[in-house]
Structure 1
Amino acid sequence: MAPKAPQIIQTPSPNFGPRRDGATPSLIVLHYTAMASAEAACNTLCNPETEVSAHYLISGKGLVQQLVAEDMRAWHAGAGQWGDITDVNSHSIGIELDNLGTHPFAEPQMAALEWLLPQIMQRWGIPPKNVIAHSDLAPHRKIDPGPRFDWQRLARQELAIWPDAQRADSDWKTSAKSFGYPVTALNGCDDPAPACFAAFRSRFRPWAKDPDEDTEDRRIMARLAAQASS
């Protein structure tokens, strides 16, 4: 059954500009707000003094607010990189989820996200592999949406990527770079590989106890790189 269509509330933020160099959205970046309420987050995202925004904000109750038009450049990603993209704001659509990062994401919120994502993906031709976490592109400074977010749920609906069960083995760093993680070049981080590994674990294997890389990490990363390139 398709998710019920929520009402989209237009709540314009002044914090945006034109996308640079003729860029169009090719990524969707998921965030959590890390604030006490959706109202507090909206106030911050719409305050010109903060110089931050996102295209959409989804409350825990499933209320969807559009803050910035999709063809405009919202200020949500900050410094970071995914693959060859260094100006992520110009190439992405940002979705903020009302959550502190300390508890599961509410069912109405997930349902609203599952309703919104396919529309954005269809409008801009964005594939599931390009729905990413804020921590993926900025692992040296961001952890959202964090280990509580259910990426596998999105992947079952082809709204994100998830590793299949096939066997594989490869150098983790090589596979991670192929997938998109900025393991070798990231401004503000002398060696981004450990931060990238932490971001990878948070998204794809948050239940892992051993902090050291193992064969399952290499298998998952190799399969993600292969699936993303196919």
Structure 2
Amino acid sequence: MLVYSRYLSRRLFVLLCVLFTGCTVTPYRVELVHSPNSSPRISSIVLHYTALNNQASLDILTRADSGVSAHYLIPQGCQSSPCPVLRLVEDDQRAWHAGQSQWRGQAGLNASSIGIEIVNLGYPEAEAQLPIEQRKWDEFETRQIETVAALITDLAKRYQIPPQRILGHSDISPGRKLDPGPRFPWRRLHQTYGVGAWPDEFEVARVMRLSAPEDALSWQTALVEYGYALPITGLWDPVTQQVLRAFQLHFRADKVDGLPDLESWARLQVLLAQYSR
């Protein structure tokens, strides 16, 4: 009986090995020892608009040959409560949404960010050569913004993402991308839902009693300190203007020309005081 029991035990072990992928014996064993010197792989959230309608947005983000994707898609025209959020890629997987990008010295944000696409038409293609302020930008729906705010609140808490790392595509790819565009309500997102970074308006008014520097070096240094990718050349070159325009898209959308002015400087200084120093 003892021999038979051993036989059954061996047969059971073999069967379990087959069921659990072969039970390959490795020449080492893993022991878990915790180190505090680590951080979450996900360090930022990047917002986009799709420039397409619902169906076209879903098609291109899920088509195998498109080369683009996002973790989440927020449709237009929500008729239910709560509004749907389409998860296209798991959070721990790399979605192809950021492309060539950089923030706070970290390049290639596909590897470290969550991408949220919001269905919005952007602006008419025929107006692409007009100044940003003259284009007819599509408005975001209130229900979309409510949904975006709820989603970001959850993700930021889950992955410990600070406000200054909730970004637009234009922030991480200045000159190459404009989304989510000047109609995206960054201020409302912060003031109504507590999401993202925004300068304190009283402090902005106080700093505006002073003067803004005219030299490019001061602007470049401050923009880089906040997080933008920019060579510090001391010159008002096209790259500097593109980065300043990206800053204005996010924090001063009624003036998006890439030219230095007192209010842009005041907003930048207040943001640095609140979030970066």
Helix, strand or coil: the match of 1:225? Answer: helix
Pair 209,120 (structure 1): closer, same or farther in 2 beyond 3 Å? closer
Helix, strand or coil: the match of 2:47? Answer: strand
Q: Distance between the aligned counterparts of 1:83 and 1:44, measured in 2?
A: 30
Q: Which moved more, 1:56-65 or 1:24-33?
A: 56-65
Q: Calculate percent identity across the aligned residue pairs.
A: 39
2:179 to 144, 148, 152: 144
**Which residue does 1:69 correspond to in 2?**
90
Deviation track 1:80-122 (CA, whole Å, cap 9, x = no partner) reads 1111110201110000000012221101111111111111011
**Which residue does 2:12 correspond to in 1?**
none
Asked if 1:225 corresponds to 2:272, the answer is yes
- In the TM superposition, what is the alpha-carbon distance from 1:206 to its structure 2 partner? 1.5
- In the TM superposition, what is the alpha-carbon distance from 1:23 to its structure 2 partner? 6.7
Q: Distance between the aligned counterparts of 2:95 and 2:40, measured in 1?
A: 13
**Which residue does 2:230 correspond to in 1?**
183
**Which residue does 1:3 correspond to in 2?**
none
Pair 109,213 (structure 1): closer, same or farther in 2 beyond 3 Å? same
Q: Distance between the aligned counterparts of 2:266 and 2:173, measured in 1?
A: 23
1:158 to 179, 194, 198: 194
**Which residue does 2:159 correspond to in 1?**
124
Which has the greater radius of gyration? 2
Partner amino acid, structure 1, of 2:96: W
Does structure 2 conserve the Cα–Cα contact (< 8 Å) formed by 1:31 and 1:133?
Answer: yes
- In the TM superposition, what is the alpha-carbon distance from 1:184 to its structure 2 partner? 1.5
2:49 to 29, 32, 36: 32
Q: Distance between the aligned counterparts of 1:179 and 1:229, measured in 2?
A: 6
Partner amino acid, structure 1, of 2:263: E
Does structure 2 conserve the Cα–Cα contact (< 8 Å) formed by 1:182 and 1:192?
Answer: no
Pair 221,63 (structure 1): closer, same or farther in 2 beyond 3 Å? same
**Structure with greater helix percent:** 2
Which structure has the higher relative contact order (CA within 8 Å, separation 6+)? 1
Alignment RMSD (CA, Å): 1.9
Deviation track 1:192-226 (CA, whole Å, cap 9, x = no partner) reads 21111111111111113876311111111111122
Pair 109,134 (structure 1): closer, same or farther in 2 beyond 3 Å? same
Unaligned runs of 5+ in 2: 1-38, 123-136
Does structure 1 conserve the Cα–Cα contact (< 8 Å) formed by 2:48 and 2:116?
Answer: yes
Q: Distance between the aligned counterparts of 2:157 and 2:105, measured in 1?
A: 23
- In the TM superposition, what is the alpha-carbon distance from 1:76 to its structure 2 partner? 0.2
Q: Distance between the aligned counterparts of 2:258 and 2:166, measured in 1?
A: 26
Pair 90,210 (structure 1): closer, same or farther in 2 beyond 3 Å? closer
Does structure 1 conserve the Cα–Cα contact (< 8 Å) formed by 2:189 and 2:196?
Answer: yes
2:243 to 193, 196, 199: 196
Q: Distance between the aligned counterparts of 1:210 and 1:144, measured in 2?
A: 16
Helix, strand or coil: the match of 1:72? Answer: coil
Asked if 1:133 corresponds to 2:159, the answer is no
Unaligned runs of 5+ in 1: 1-21
- What TM-score does the superposition give when structure 2 sets the normalisation length? 0.69
Helix, strand or coil: the match of 2:94? Answer: strand
User: Which runs of structure 1 show a deviation greater than 6 angstroms over 4 or more consecutive aligned residues?
Assistant: none
1:97 to 118, 123, 128: 118
Pair 194,40 (structure 1): closer, same or farther in 2 beyond 3 Å? same
Q: Distance between the aligned counterparts of 2:258 and 2:108, measured in 1?
A: 31
- In the TM superposition, what is the alpha-carbon distance from 1:27 to its structure 2 partner? 0.3
- What TM-score does the superposition give when structure 1 sets the normalisation length? 0.83
Pair 115,58 (structure 1): closer, same or farther in 2 beyond 3 Å? same
Asked if 1:85 corresponds to 2:121, the answer is no
Does structure 2 conserve the Cα–Cα contact (< 8 Å) formed by 1:77 and 1:94?
Answer: yes
